[in-house]
Amino acid sequence: MYKSCISGESILPSIFLLCVALCYSSLALAKGTSSDVPLYKNPDANVEDRVEDLLKRMTLEEKIGQMTQVERSIANSSNIEQYFFGSILSGGGSVPSERASPTDWMDMIDGFQKAALSTRLGIPLMYGIDAVHGNNNVYGATIFPHNIGLGCTREPDLLKRIGTATALEARGTGIPYVFAPCLAVCRNPSWGRCYESYGEDPDLVRSMTEIIPGLQGNPSGVGIPSVDTQRNVAATAKHFVGDGGTLNGIDEGNTLSSFRRFVGTHMAPYFDAIAKGVATIMISYSSYNGQKMHTNQFLISHVLKKQLQFKGMVISDWMGLDRSTDPWGANYTNSVRLGINAGLDMIMVPFNYTIFQESVLSLVQSKSIPMKRINDAVRRILRVKFTLGLFEHPYADRSLTSMVGSQAHRDLAREAVRKSLVLLKNGNPGSTPLLPLDRKASKILVAGSHANDIGNQCGGWTITWQGSSGNTTKGTTILEGIESAVSSETEVVFKESPDASFAKNKGFAYAVVVVGEQPYAEYVGDNFNLTIPKEGIETINNVCSAVKCVVVLISGRPLVIEPYLPMVEAFVAAWLPGTEGQGVSDVLFGDYPFQGKLSRTWFKTVNQLPMNVGDKHYDPLFDYGFGLHY
């Protein structure tokens, strides 16, 4: 029959035309491209055409649903189907179960996805998580050094490789969307999020945006969200904009600046992020010259979307609209009006979704929010989802579970630790440098609260929001790294908090003292003294007064160290190195050289703050970019 139709043999002209139409209709049905199959479900169609086709099919309630992101702890099949949630997230420490496996994560996320796909239009949801230094909520995942340490490497290609690994570990738990990287330019180390910044210099932060093509794959065009494959994830540049420049370094505070300086310092990294196709941008809790960023229509709609031509999705931070007023939540409906009209596309609710959706619905009906603004928001959300391939591949790829905590990724993290370490001192005048350490010494002392503690060396945003001390996840402590590096004949003695007499006359060739800050995140970490915690100071005094020592400082920022430098032979800034403590011992014993350079100016006293490279009165203890070598 088909052959006859094509040739037209033995068929009258009118019947021939009908026959051809029927044949091609049959072929179209076989390929799934008939008029009965919506255009938005055709994977071969142009993304923009698919977006427009789906958008015109949606009700207002379905559109508002797509703009809603809720926390996993309150999501279930019933409310997903009823309220059409566009996204679900894990807040810091929000997990399916304690020490959940990659399969547990996939089962949970696939369950949510199944409910979303059962809705009228079958729009898949997008699951998001804070993967800020690896897939850091997940037990057993590889935890990379925090950004302040990565900035010291000065290696954009390393950041790209870390992005690729992080994407694989996120996909290995079924997660296609990460709230990273943080592109803050931290101008005051008192800020509790300073370790989330790559450094104080906008040019350095701009270079580190190479993590974005690692996470997402190679860019497709300026301002256009780009996610290459199902082994990549949608990234989030955050927090737009000025979060690292607040007065006195107060988290969620006010950044005071001329517009020209503001753009040159704080907005500059976003130019690169957009050029590299970042899929989403998260808005900052902070204010710019007194106006909350979550309601700043000029910077979001005019600058970001119009002038910078960002085509991706703009998302609020956690309860960002609630926190745009003082007290939080006052006149919430007005905050919703201001935020959405400012240009927010998806709202991280994360709990009171009914109040949010009712507010948006009433504001649209009263024309307080134009329908054009709703359509713009949903258009951007759908664009990211189509780019992610969620309509074709909504469920987790079970073959990727082995990526979580893989040896290849741990080796990469160990490399990143080695390259992030900064040597600040090695030897006193007239003495032989202590480093590299003698691995064949007969007896050595390892001391300090951070020497044998995975949680302390990972810092905040690790398993839980604030992080915590102890064996919080799988990894290698610095003590374990030292023990594996020394000769089999070397006796390694560990004492977390030795008293003044412990190290005296015990035959120690040298001591390694590992001390630092306790884990923290966000405003909990705001600190205006920036001193080493008391127990760390006591350990330095007790050990280094009795035996030659190297101090390894674990911290999310520079701390006051000038008073202790004369009593130590060597001093190393190790930042927050993550799970691979062997990276520290690799360099201490000379298997690899020190190569890290300070991503932050190291001050003498806190009275000098804020102090950054290029300032008129610049008198640091160690300059920005300082770093000794063997």
Averaged confidence pLDDT in the chain:
94
**Active site annotation includes 522:** yes
- The reported pLDDT for the residue numbered 226 is 75
Amino acid 40: pLDDT: 98
Out of 62, 201, 243, 317, which one is annotated catalytic?
317
Q: How far apart are CA 85 and CA 83, in angstroms?
A: 6
Residue 392, helix vs strand vs coil = coil
Architecture of the domain defined by 39-403: Alpha-Beta Barrel (3.20)
Q: What is the DSSP string of 44-90?
A: TS-HHHHHHHHHHH--HHHHHHHTEEEEGGG--HHHHHHH--SEEEE
255, HSE (Cβ side, Cα atoms, 13 Å): 32
Architecture of domain 421-608: 3-Layer(aba) Sandwich (3.40)
Q: Is 61 a known active-site residue? A: no
* More confident position, 293 or 36: 293
pLDDT (0 to 100) of residue 630? 87
- Measured from the Cβ of residue 221, the count of other Cβ atoms closer than 10 Å reads 11
Beta strand 126-129 pairing with 510-516:
unpaired
Catalytic position from the list 522, 526, 569, 580: 522
Q: Provide the pLDDT for residue 5.
A: 41
| Partners of 178 in the β-ladder | 129
Residues 6+ apart with CB under 8 A from 565: 425, 571
The mean pLDDT of 310-322, rounded to a whole number, is 97
What residue spans of 487-617 are helical by DSSP H?
534-544, 582-588
510-516, strands of its sheet edge to edge:
422-426, 570-575, 549-554, 510-516, 443-447, 491-495
pTM of the predicted model as reported, rounded to 2 decimal places: 0.93
CA contacts within 13 A on the Cβ side of 235: 39
Least Cα distance to 74 among 130, 112, 101 occurs for: 112
Q: How confident is the model at residue 222 (pLDDT cuts 50, 70, 90)?
A: low
Does residue 616 register a pLDDT over 60? yes
The mean per-residue pLDDT over the stretch 105-124 comes to 98
Length of the chain: 630
If pLDDT is split at 50, 70 and 90, which confidence band does 71 have? very high
Structure tokens at 280: 């989403």
Backbone torsions φ then ψ of 384, nearest 5 degrees? -65, -40
- Residue 88 β-bridge partners: 70, 127
The answer to whether the peptide bond before residue 436 is cis (omega within 30 degrees of 0) is yes
Average pLDDT over residues 362-385: 98
Cα distance between residue 91 and residue 572, in whole Å: 33
318-353 pLDDT per residue, tens = 999 999 998 998 999 999 999 999 999 999 999 999
Beta bridge partners of 278: none
Helix (H) or strand (E) holding 207: helix 202-207
Taking only the tens place, the pLDDT of each residue in 401-410 is 999 999 999 9
| Backbone dihedral angles phi then psi of residue 10, each to the nearest 5 degrees | 60, 25
pLDDT of 3 above 50: no
Give the C-alpha separation, 267 to 184, whole Å. Answer: 9
Is the model's pLDDT at 54 over the cut of 50? yes
The domain segmentation of the chain, as residue ranges, is 2-31, 39-403, 421-608
What is residue 12's predicted lDDT score, i.e. its pLDDT? 40
Q: What's the pLDDT at 33?
A: 46
| Three-state secondary-structure class, residue 575 | strand
- pLDDT exceeds cutoff 70 at 233: yes
SS (H, E, C) 110-164: HHHHHHHHCCCCCCCCEEEECCCCCCCCCCCCCCCCCHHHHHHHCCHHHHHHHHH
**DSSP secondary structure letters along 267-319:** IHHHHHHHHTT-SEEEEPSSEETTEEGGG-HIIIIIIIIIIS---SEEE--TT
- pLDDT recorded at residue 45: 96
Q: What are phi and psi of 589, to 5 degrees?
A: -95, 5
User: Does residue 235 register a pLDDT over 80?
Assistant: yes
Q: What is the pLDDT at residue 223?
A: 64
Residues with Cβ within 8 Å of 265's Cβ and at least 6 positions away in sequence, in order, are: 185, 187, 202, 245, 257
Amino acid 228: pLDDT: 79
